[in-house]
Structure 1
């Protein structure tokens, strides 16, 4: 039979209309044959998983770089002129760099594969009047499904029958407390978080039981819509990628300029085209720091390992550096800033209010308060145990219990008071129960102990007070007055304004009582304020981020007052922040005004936001020039996690969708790990900037030397393979040592760097030019000294240029210390990797002269000791000049 599907707004339909629209029945459901037919018609209840980059695409992606393209051209030209060794060497450099990036990305993907849950779930469905277990992906529209505590909802649906049904929707909406469900019909403008007659795929049943009719499967569920949004959200290029691309473009123009000058002069002077092409190849090889991708990859991989040790799994290498540039963190509330666990925060009695904390089964009274009203407290604890449907044995044994978290917290209170909930329940036999409902807002139970009856009740303060005729104050019970009721209501409103969920408690003891209408003439005892508390480590982390110049913004699906209260508790608000904006107040982003953009950028808390609005807020910040980190653990966070420059998911509580989408996964779910990761990111950027300056200055000196020698001593010009050796040996290892060094320990006391600035500033370019000129000068001094005082042999002159440049580049690493640091003791000289790199490079340089095969491959000859001495002395010239400048500055 044909049915109308999808249904636009099932929450607006009555139960009867749902049955009629989807051609199903409350007792029979649909038949097995009809289920099979609808499965063919509407497909499986599953989502297309995010498209994974194939292994081949991952490998090919490592070759997509302008540097790589030009090196391929240089290798091709070398091969054309039968310089096979040179061509192969260039190709090996390209391949090594690609393999390093490929294996690091593959390892990160493998780590995420290990986090995936592969369980196949089943759902209880009524087919032809019989309850059957059906694979969740085979559920169809119109199926009548059963729900009970502990179930994971496998499809969206309209509730048609329920008994104390409460659902944890925090992963979808951000609501901390379980949502009590009913079968009432709602209006079309009700927010997703307030659709209390619906259940949604991926949420969990915490309490009660019920039935619902499936109204949405697969991509027509709220979860499916978010999945589509995630797939359509585009990831932006990382700041490091952009900066290296900009640097590459500059190097390309420098190379083309120098090549054009040399070629033009060569044509004018009548030089051979072979010499011009060979020089052009040498310039191409000299211009690009072939070791840069390798060093950057290893430095980022090292940062990845450091972050992994600090509980942050980095899925993409470039995310390590990007995190260091973050200047705003947009964070979810539930499970990220808070524990996503309900705690008792305040006790209120007729003449006393006490803030409390229960941790690891121990109750403490804040501000060293002394509890005066012990009688009321003991009675309230007893009521909390008796008027309770939580699995007490599991709570007592400290197992993860399924049930209403408020009721679980009440059992935890009894345990902290050294009471045994199971023993209490055995003494007080339950005879009857009035379940909590959205109409009465009260739960009551009737118990018998020996020959006496005990009535316990908890619920809404306003509604429970209507059932109370007396009040207990210590060991006295007296008639409750209107003034006392007014004071109790005022106190409950104050507690609610502080972000607490408030329940009142009452009881009555009788020799005899009615078993039906027993919630009358109750004795009021007091109130408890419940809270999803901020994580214990969150406040110091917020302070650390603020000192580092990072703005923190909360974006949640929870209630505005709850969100604002959490922000106040953790010290997130600053004086110039607008307080809170609810999602329904936000305009459509397609037509957003400049005034609204400014308002969004100055607001600290966004509440009742949809996944789409979270995505749009991220976009507003990015368009304003911010580097955005987005944290979250729910399905509703996934689109924004993907859109942000850095998406950070919680590893323990995070949904699989969130973890798959994020760039970084926190193993301990701690916001503190974010602050630590940002610090590592900043240190790594400093190191990257340091070794980029080192490498580019070395390569620029090679360009100058090749060009100058091409004019004045073409027979002694450095060969492409010699330059490649320098770039991959004498440049790479010192640069790598700089990349692995410890950064400035005060990085988190400084503001974030401007994301618009390039990796090398104009000031840095001036220093690079000076460094390059000094290294060029050292080579020219050695070359001309040898030419006029020792030998005119072009091979020996080529060798002295090679040796001088090699050692001047090695010693140049000491010029990378801070201008304000000491000459002898600084961050470079204290870096053990630098000394190891220098020793290794010196051995390798000398080693190529020892073996005839390596000498022949590089075009080298045996060099007399006096030439070695001249080369070493000349190579010290740049470091002496720079250090003298630093000392007198």
Structure 2
């Protein structure tokens, strides 16, 4: 049963408890729990059904090429042509099994990924504390929280019950799994406004997040699919599955081939029957045309090319879960990327210290390490940051625990050449005043000769209000109101640079119980940031050079997101768009939609916003990739044309729906994957062009011969032999090429562009005429000039076509490349395929068992001269006749 969608974060704690008839002191009774379990159901998330093995197998038959092969095989079997029928069916099954095993392996490897295994929860029931399975939680349960606890359901934080007063209860929570931001958030019981966005609901704890510090308790307000995590899971399951551009285009091509085959077959059959040709001869012709029109190797070549790309990407830390997704990367125009951990290092670092004596820029390498002997004020500021600190660094900083901000201060303390333990030996700690969200400050007292040194840090505005003096290298001076306002303004400017700020101050006192926040001396501002990855700017620039836009989508503040965007080189088209300004996506005006399409940074966004943004860009015709690591990213990852999850810190939910997982969480790995995707599409395009050129040549040969009383120049099994062997192996070699060096120097191809464009069809038609004419010429000359028998003449046309295909592959170089120095010539697999297929052609006439099946004869020396002469004509035209319009087949749509 669905739970009420109340805005519990806007209600006082007592109102929430009353709503659920819950008692904070005793919790629910056993009877109440049983009743609510029956009413609301178990606290579990529903998972989408896995794809069954039979379904994976049978959907391989959706390919038009497979269906056409099946029809040709069935016709051959029905007419008693067993050799042809069995051979065709075998080829069809091989294609089907290759596709099945590739997809089955990818899907099954992802079934091992499951988000958030079974957890237990500490609850108060029947007046006592109990440990239960989290799936048995119900609304109204009182959950007890402690550090390292995973929040088991959506909770409303409750205040601590005192004897006379209710004290504020504070808990720090890491919400990275939900909001994508790794900096822990301070949670307090105080209600917030009803229109507060999820990331700012400071009194709510959500399922799937984790407590990093503090003890507390909360009342369960939502379980299972009614939690925020459940809503996200529901969005991910409802997001539309997608067919990649390559799948769409290959299906379109298969449909075109089907109609071409049917049309030509009907025309030839009617013409032949009208001319009085034998019915069985026309059936043989129909089978031959059906085989000739189908590029039998297309599914194999596409699958192998994609699989090899998948393997190459895995060696470069990009693991692809769906074969066809490899190619889609090459058409990507928009990459939605999270900020934290994707563009940034996911680690807070002290970047800047501003004291009354000046600004000190810090870097990770510490090559510009300041001379602290000549900077006493800077040393004092660093010491305060290290002393007033609860974080821990152990084992040469390999083991880190605590608030990321405090960790950054500890690591910056290396400038002091003393760690915190050594400083505490010099300044022993006697008292700590913990950080309080009301005062926004923290203080520690340290014993010194004659009294105590009080180290204080906190929010700049409240710290400046607490300071009455300001330190300089020469001593202390009074802090005037103008100076105080000037420092506050400076703090706002630094925050606009994307820095997270703290102010540090200190004083000396005689009593350990003195007020730590009175009469402070201001030392300066310390600015921390999650810095961009070292190689991110170069990766972004390469994306932009390739016509790809990176768009930041973050749960962080707009000014922080904008600052990081500028640091990493994202083109800035204006201010960041706040999540609350998106409104109702479906009701957006044209002007508002255009503003969204031009924006580079979206801040304070919810999971629903991310999903809607992906849809908006897709509706505008863009091919969209989405990177993410949190549970919150799962719906958008699934909706995007390419979902890219982070492997190191990504949630299992994100990995499960993603098309690709980055093992190193590195944005630059995406650039490598995009390049490989473009290379794969270019290679598949070359392979398809190669097969279509030679297959259309076969159609021309068979159809023209059938219009006369001459015998067919090719038997059906010979065509099948050529299509499977002398087509597939060179096409495979083309499919695994490394690609040209300029593949990332041009914009992505249009998402609607066909695999074979109009210009490609022109080239294919021209080359098909050349190859077909050479085969018919060889057949005619063999009969009339050499005056050989019909079997030998058919063998000559068979070998002429076979070798023409092999030499023709050299014409598949890129536009503008040199004949003897291009990506095809440099591809060693091409030369291996040419040698191997040449040997197969020789076996087809010189090995008696195979020659008997294919009905071939050994040509004489004159026959071989004719074969070599005619088969070399297409290659010679491509190499030495640049004036011919279709002398080269480019991967460009223009060519």
TM-score by length of 1: 0.95
Give the Cα–Cα distance (whole angstroms) in 2 for the partners of residues 819 and 62 of structure 1: 35
Which is further off, 36-45 or 74-83? 36-45
Answer with 457-466 or 721-730: which moved more.
457-466
Distance 2:144 2:221 in 1: 14
Aligned match for 1:818, one of 803, 814, 818? 814
State the distance in 2 between where 1:157 and 1:507 align.
Answer: 38
C-alpha distance after superposition, 1:87-113 (max 9, x if no partner): 221122122122222222233335435
Provide the residue aligned with 1:382 in structure 2.
383
Structure 2 counterpart of 1:302, from 308, 330, 333: 308
**Could you tell me how far apart the structure 1 residues matched to 2:396 and 2:133 are?**
32
TM-aligned CA deviation for residue 717 of structure 1: 4.1
Q: Distance in 1 between matches of 2:329 and 2:473?
A: 56
1:458-492 deviations in whole A, cap 9, x for unaligned? Answer: 11112112222222212512332223322321221
The one of 54, 75, 100 aligned to 2:52:
54
**Of 152-161 and 164-173, the range deviating more from structure 2:** 164-173
Query: What is the RMSD computed on CA atoms of the aligned residues?
Result: 2.2
In the alignment, the residues of structure 2 paired with residue 273 and residue 590 of structure 1 have an alpha-carbon distance, to the nearest angstrom, of 62
The alpha-carbon distance between structure 1 residues 619 and 14, as it changes in their structure 2 partners (threshold 3 A), is same
> Which of 366, 379, 389 is matched with 1:363 structurally?
366
- Residue number among 628, 638, 643 corresponding to 1:632 in the alignment: 628
Q: Distance in 2 between matches of 1:387 and 1:228?
A: 44
Worse-matched range after superposition: 300-309 or 159-168: 159-168
User: Cα distance 1:453–1:633, how it changes in 2: closer, same or farther (>3 A)?
Assistant: same
Higher mean displacement: 166-175 or 459-468: 166-175
Q: Report the more deviating stretch, 709-718 or 212-221.
A: 709-718
The CA deviation at 1:202 is 1.4
- Which residue number corresponds to residue 189 of structure 1? 195
How far apart, in 2, do the equivalents of 1:428 and 1:107 lie? 61
Q: Tell me the residue number matched to 2:254.
A: 248
TM-score (norm 2): 0.94
Cα distance between partner residues in 2 of 1:581 and 1:23: 41
Q: Distance in 1 between matches of 2:128 and 2:410?
A: 37
Please give the alpha-carbon distance, in whole angstroms, between the structure 1 residues aligned to 2:138 and 2:302: 51
- Cα separation, partners in 2 of 1:419 and 1:371, compared to 1, 3 Å: closer
In the other structure, the counterpart of 2:324 is: 318
Q: Which has the higher mean CA deviation after the structures are superposed, 663-672 or 532-541?
A: 532-541
Q: CA deviation at 1:599?
A: 1.4
Which residue is equivalent to 2:165? none
* Alpha-carbon offset, residue 37 of structure 1: 4.1
Partner of 1:132: 130
CA distance in 2, matches of 1:810, 1:167: 65
The counterpart of 1:789, out of the listed 782, 785, 788, is: 785
Find 2:267's aligned residue among 261, 278, 283: 261
- 2:540 pairs with 1:539: no
Alpha-carbon distance in structure 2 between the residues aligned to 1:126 and 1:451: 49
Give, in whole Å, the separation in 2 of the partners of 1:841 and 1:272. 35
Q: In the TM superposition, what are the counterparts of 1:398-797 in structure 2 within 5 Å?
A: 398-425=397-424, 428-449=427-448, 452-474=451-473, 476-514=475-513, 517-574=515-572, 577-791=573-787, 793-797=789-793
Q: In 1, Cα distance between the equivalents of 2:23 and 2:405?
A: 35
1:808 equivalenced with 2:804 (yes/no): yes
Greater alpha carbon shift after TM alignment, 589-598 vs 501-510: 589-598
Asked if the contact 2:115/2:651 (under 8 Å) is kept, the reply is no
> Hey, what's the Cα distance between the residues in 2 that align with 1:475 and 1:187?
48
Q: In the superposition, relative to structure 1, how do residues 139 and 416 fare at CA in structure 2: closer, same or farther (>3 Å)? A: farther
Cα distance in structure 2, aligned partners of 1:212 and 1:825: 71
**Deviation (angstroms), 1:74:** 1.0
Matched, 1:842 2:843: no
How much does 1:448 deviate?
A: 3.6
Paired residues in the alignment total 877
Alpha-carbon contact 1:635-1:658 (below 8 Å) kept:
yes
Deviates more, 1:401-410 or 1:302-311: 401-410
Structure 1 residue 222: Cα displacement: 0.7
CA contact (8 A) 1:395 1:408 kept: no
Cα separation, partners in 2 of 1:289 and 1:888, compared to 1, 3 Å = closer
Instruction: Check the 8 A contact 2:158/2:169 in 1, yes or no.
Output: no
**8 Å CA contact retained: 2:556, 2:603:** yes
The equivalent of 2:353 in structure 1 is 347
SS at match of 1:534: coil
Distance of 1:250 and 1:7 partners within structure 2: 52
Deviation at 1:36, TM superposition (A): 4.3
Residue aligned with 2:818, SS = coil
Shift in Å at residue 399 of structure 1?
3.6
Is the alpha carbon distance of 1:351 and 1:451 closer, same or farther for their aligned partners in structure 2, counting shifts above 3 Å? closer
- Structure 1 residues 406 and 860: CA distance shift in structure 2, 3 A: same
Give the match's secondary structure for 1:749: coil
* Partner residue in 2 for 1:799: 795
Answer whether contact 2:327 2:680 (CA < 8 A) is retained. yes
Q: Distance in 1 between matches of 2:5 and 2:620?
A: 39
CA distance in 1, matches of 2:416, 2:673: 41
1:220 CA displacement? 0.7
Cα drift, residue 633 of structure 1:
1.3
Give the CA deviation at 1:564.
0.9
- Could you tell me how far 1:557 is from its partner in structure 2? 2.0
Q: CA deviation at 1:663?
A: 0.6
Within 5 A, what are the aligned runs for 1:140-151?
140-151=138-149
**CA 1:429–1:132 in structure 2 vs 1: closer, same or farther (change >3 Å)?**
farther
**Structure 2 regions of 5+ residues with no counterpart?**
160-167, 886-895
Deviation larger for 524-533 or 375-384: 375-384
Residue 681 of structure 1 and its aligned partner are, at CA, apart by 1.1
Give the deviation of 1:508 after TM superposition.
Answer: 1.8
- Take 1:202 and 1:402, find their aligned partners in 2: how far apart are those partners? 20
Gaps of 5+ in 1: none
Q: Is the 8 A contact 2:63 2:254 kept in 1?
A: no
How far, CA to CA, are the matches of 1:346 and 1:680 in structure 2?
Answer: 40
Distance 2:705 2:400 in 1: 79
1:790 Cα deviation (Å)? 2.3
Determine if contact 1:396/1:415 at 8 Å carries over to the other structure.
no
1:221, CA displacement in angstroms?
A: 0.8
**Cα distance in 2 between the residues matched to 1:733 and 1:277:** 29
Cα separation, 2, equivalents of 1:80 and 1:618: 51
Following superposition, the deviation at residue 251 of structure 1 comes to 1.5
Of 751-760 and 856-865, more deviation after overlay is shown by 856-865
> Any idea what the Cα deviations from partners look like across 1:414-450, whole Å, max 9, x if unmatched?
2443222134345555444333233211122334457
Q: Aligned partners of 2:446 and 2:817: how far apart in 1?
A: 78
- Note closer, same or farther for the CA distance 1:582–1:819 as it changes in structure 2 (3 Å cut): closer
